[in-house]
Amino acid sequence: MTASRPELLVDGSDQLLRRTIQDALGFSIHLQELRAGLGQAAGLSGPAYSILVAVEHLSRQGDIGINLLSDYLHLSGAFVTTEVNKLVGAGLVAKEPHPADRRRVVMTLTTQGRGLLAAVGDLQRSVNDTIFGALAPGELRALSDSLAKLVGGSQDALALLHVQARRRKTA
C-alpha cells in the first residue's frame, strides 16, 4: 500500500491513487515539453517563456516583483531573478525601482516582450485549447482548485522528506 488514509483508498486498494500519480507525472512531463516548445517558438527557454507570460499576466493586476513572480510560478527567487535578468538583457522585460520601496523592483514587459508574446499567441491558444478541450464546463475550475490543494500538499510532503533525510543523516 502506498497510502493509509481512507479517502485515498477505494475498496481498500491504492490502485486509483497509483494511477492518478502516474497520470499526473505524465501530464507534468507533457506540460514541460509543451512549455519548452512554446519557448522555442518564441526563441526562449521554457522557463524564460513561462516567466515572460507570468509577467504579462500578473502586471495586469498591479505591481509585480520577484517574490510574487516566484510564488506564482512555484520557483525559487534566485532562479527567477537569474531568468528575469536574462529577459531584461534581451530587452523583453523592464525592471524599475518600486515607487514606495526602492529596495524592491517592479517588472513590466517591454514593447518587444509584448510583441514576442503576440507572435506566439495563436500557437499558445491552440495548445491550451487542445490540452484542456476535453474538460466540460466547470471542470477547469475544479481542476484548478484541486491542483492548488495538491501544490500545497506536495510542498508539505517535500518538507517532510527533507526532515526525514536530515534525521537519517544524523542517525
Model confidence over 87-104: pLDDT tens digits? 999 999 999 887 877 778
pTM flag (> 0.75): yes
Whole-angstrom Cα distance, residue 132 to residue 146?
Answer: 15
Identify the pLDDT of residue 104. 80
Residue 43's pLDDT is 96
| Average pLDDT of span 28-34 | 97
Radius of gyration of the chain (CA): 20
Q: What pLDDT sits at residue 103?
A: 78
47-96: pLDDT as tens digits: 999 999 999 999 999 889 899 999 999 999 999 999 999 999 999 999 98
